[in-house]
């Protein structure tokens, strides 16, 4: 049984490492374009589901959008993704990666999106420069395309509002996890 758990853990970690960044196929400009297309799709979905967020994003100091995949096997959770932060004052995009790991009870996999709205430039700059968050997570998701349901989240962390929604997956988990966001040196 212990061997089986370790095998599942290794499979999960290896699969998440493949999701930790954008595809390295194509030129830097093509890779950046894929990230920007993801960002536009996610923001369109957010604005359709929560119309009041459009004005919140447009008047914010900046925002970040991430695409993330997460796997939870028994007591270990791992995930990875990519995204972009935008400074609304300067118009500058900062391409970023993310990875997360944690412990807790759960089983499943999900593909989800994160939108962070920074209410002042200090919060945006702090995120880009240090980019670390830590927190608990409890959720349930059973979704494939337009079918199924998921628990959507909206949270406030001082100067940042965070929206999450599940694209697809089947997961039931309660974990304590850490998430690291960092600047993608290859795309900036």
* pLDDT tens figures, 44-63: 999 998 999 999 999 999 99
Per-domain residue ranges of the chain: 2-183
pLDDT at position 17, please? Answer: 42
Average pLDDT over residues 21-48: 88
- At 162-179, the pLDDT tens digits run 888 876 444 444 546 678
d(CA 104, CA 31): 34
- Residue percentage of the chain with pLDDT more than 70: 61
Average pLDDT, the chain: 75
- At 84-125, the pLDDT tens digits run 999 999 999 999 999 888 776 666 666 788 899 999 999 999
pTM over the 0.85 mark = no
Is the CB of residue 101 less than 8 Å from the CB of residue 133?
Answer: no
pLDDT at position 149, please? Answer: 36
Of residues 116, 99, 84, the one with CA closest to residue 16 = 99
| Element housing 174 (H / E) | strand 160-183
pLDDT at position 25, please? Answer: 79
pLDDT at position 81, please? Answer: 92
Is the CB of residue 175 less than 8 Å from the CB of residue 104?
Answer: yes
């Amino acid at each position: 049984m212990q061997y089986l758990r370790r095998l599942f853990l290794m499979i999960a970690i290896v699969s998440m490492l493949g999701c930790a960044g954008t595809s390295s196929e194509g030129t830097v400009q093509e890779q950046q374009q894929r990230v920007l297309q993801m960002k536009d799709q996610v923001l369109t979905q957010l604005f359709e589901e929560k119309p009041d967020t459009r004005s919140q994003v447009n008047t914010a100091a900046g925002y970040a959008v991430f695409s993330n995949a997460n796997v939870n096997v028994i007591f270990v959770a791992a995930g990875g993704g990519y995204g972009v932060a935008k400074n609304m004052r300067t118009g500058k995009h900062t391409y970023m990666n993310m990875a997360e790991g944690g412990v807790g009870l759960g089983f499943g996999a999900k593909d989800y999106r994160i939108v962070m709205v920074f209410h002042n430039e200090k919060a945006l700059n702090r995120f880009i420069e240090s980019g670390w968050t830590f927190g608990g997570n409890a959720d349930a998701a059973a979704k494939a395309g337009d079918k199924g349901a998921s628990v959507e989240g909206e949270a406030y962390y001082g100067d940042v509002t965070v929206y999450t929604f599940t694209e697809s997956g089947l997961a039931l988990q309660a974990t304590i996890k850490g998430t690291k966001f960092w600047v993608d040196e290859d795309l900036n």
